[in-house]
Amino acid sequence: MLLGVVGDAMKTTWISDILEGKHDGQKVELKGWIKRSRGSNKIRFVVLRDSTGSIQCVAKKDAVGEECFENVKSALIESSLIIHGLANPDERADGGYEIIVQDVEIVGPVNPDTPFPITESAMVAADGGETEFLLDNRHLYLRTTRMTTMLKLRSSVFGAIHSYFRDLDFLEYQAPNFVAGAVEGGSTLFEVPYFGRKAYLTQSWQLYAEAAMPALERLYTIAPSFRAEKSRTRRHLTEFWHAEMEVAWADNNEIMSYGEGVVRKIAATLLDERSEELESLGRDLETIARYADSAYPRMRYDEAVDTLQGMGVEIEWGQDLDYSKEKVLTQDFDVPHFLTHYPKIAKPFYHRVDPDDEKYVLCHDLLAPEGYGEIIGGGERTWSEAEILARIDEEGTPREPYQFYIDTRTYGGVPHGGFGLGVDRVCSWLSGAEHIREVIPFPRDSRRVTP
């Protein structure tokens, strides 16, 4: 572990380092929280956890003294401690190590009046399957092994996205979150009072990215997007993390290659950095490896509709695919599939009409397998001034909020496109979570903005 200046308060030893044999036989100072504690009036076994792992610490009354021993014995789960002791390799111990305790300082005790211990099993039991209790106590539930695992996976997913785009010389670019118009339709817009006017929370970075496309040519972001989704499903949040990219001089096929590239990179990074965590969640590493190594097939919307109709699903040509349909379609996929060429009537004005057949637009969704469904939406943009004006008017959308967007075309428009990837959805799919709220620290939906 690299350290800068080490002060008294700074932590110098991580549990993972001990478990990797970096401190064998040494005196160490451990800082962490009690995960479990048991024992007798003479000896206590305290499992201490930090962000890197957990280790059993053995405190004998003879060795630590009466007062220290009593403090350890009465300390509740999640009390924070500083332990001094010897890092002792021991085959019988979990992880192959234990700490022979010499001294314990209780830093932050847990109030004995607290109504429940912060353990996964106690919290799940108190919740009784309703999930409301776990969500009300999310700030504490974050410390459990399952949530910690999800947060670590999430960190690796964010890192993989940044690396993917930066390695390809994309520039990270930020758009405003207060905006004047819709990107993805008016029905999911969040309205906010804005000094006597109306503003909205952004649904997507895209339109502002297109304005910077002539300046930067290859750009990306990872930022929150907001949608007033009334329906609560296993893959919708009202605030979600959106990885978006925009690239000049690219067509739908090239943009799909980037989408495939970033999802494969995410899967490869998880295998590399988080295989233990994936296995602890019951994920099959070969499945994740297939997502990392395979090409993703591309099929047209019409073919998907035919397939669904063949499976007896009621769907009319022209309808966007909702979750119930994507679920059926992707149940038997073994890798993600792109669906391309949706009907123009199913998509917003910015999608470029297919010059070969005006009923369709040059767009794509990437559908994840295992019944998960859409994780990416993107495509080519309507890029000439005449066409964008025609599409805006055809949709009956007012031109005024989009004047900056129209100007992008008026002043040297070029073919371009991009996509948005729902980062929480990707985390949810790859971790095998039942629900998207399991993979984000403080999920937001139509009923909850707390804690």
Q: Rule CB under 6 A: which residues touch ligand 4AD?
A: 183-184, 203-204, 206, 227, 229, 236-237, 240, 242, 244, 374-378, 418-422, 424-425
**66: helix, strand or coil:** helix
- Residue sitting closest to Mg ion (CB): 377
Q: Which residue lies nearer to ligand 4AD by CB, 413 or 443?
A: 443
Q: From ligand 4AD, Mg ion, none, which one binds at residue 258 (CB under 5 to 8 Å depending on kind)? A: none
CB 153 within 8 A of CB 427: yes
| Shortest distance, position 188 Cβ to Mg ion, whole Å | 11
For residue 327, give the nearest of 315, 318, 317 by alpha carbon. Answer: 315
Q: Which residue lies nearer to Mg ion by CB, 156 or 382?
A: 382
Taking CB under 5 A as the rule, does residue 259 contact Mg ion?
no
| Shortest distance, position 320 Cβ to Mg ion, whole Å | 8
Q: Which residue lies nearer to ligand 4AD by CB, 33 or 383?
A: 383
Q: Which of residues 365-404 bind Mg ion (CB under 5 A)?
A: 377
Q: From ligand 4AD, Mg ion, none, which one binds at residue 361 (CB under 5 to 8 Å depending on kind)? A: none
Q: Which residue lies nearer to ligand 4AD by CB, 69 or 342?
A: 342
| Shortest distance, position 119 Cβ to Mg ion, whole Å | 39
Q: From ligand 4AD, Mg ion, none, which one binds at residue 35 (CB under 5 to 8 Å depending on kind)? A: none
Q: Which residue lies nearer to Mg ion by CB, 377 or 443?
A: 377
Cα(141)–Cα(319) distance, rounded to whole angstroms?
40
DSSP letter for each residue of 12-42 = -B-HHHHHTTTTTT-EEEEEEEEEEEEE-SS
| Shortest distance, position 381 Cβ to ligand 4AD, whole Å | 8
* Size, binding site for Mg ion by CB under 5 A: 1
**318: helix, strand or coil:** coil
| Shortest distance, position 374 Cβ to ligand 4AD, whole Å | 5
CB 60 within 8 A of CB 43: yes
For residue 145, give the nearest of 291, 22, 259, 281 by alpha carbon. Answer: 281
For residue 318, give the nearest of 329, 302, 334, 303 by alpha carbon. Answer: 302
Q: Which residue lies nearer to ligand 4AD by CB, 133 or 442?
A: 442
* Cross-strand partners of 281: none
For residue 310, give the nearest of 328, 298, 284 by alpha carbon. Answer: 328
What is the bridge-based pairing of β-strands 80-89 and 239-248? unpaired
CB 227 within 8 A of CB 203: yes
| Shortest distance, position 185 Cβ to ligand 4AD, whole Å | 8
Cα(441)–Cα(444) distance, rounded to whole angstroms?
10
Q: Which residues contact Mg ion (rule: CB under 5 A)? A: 377
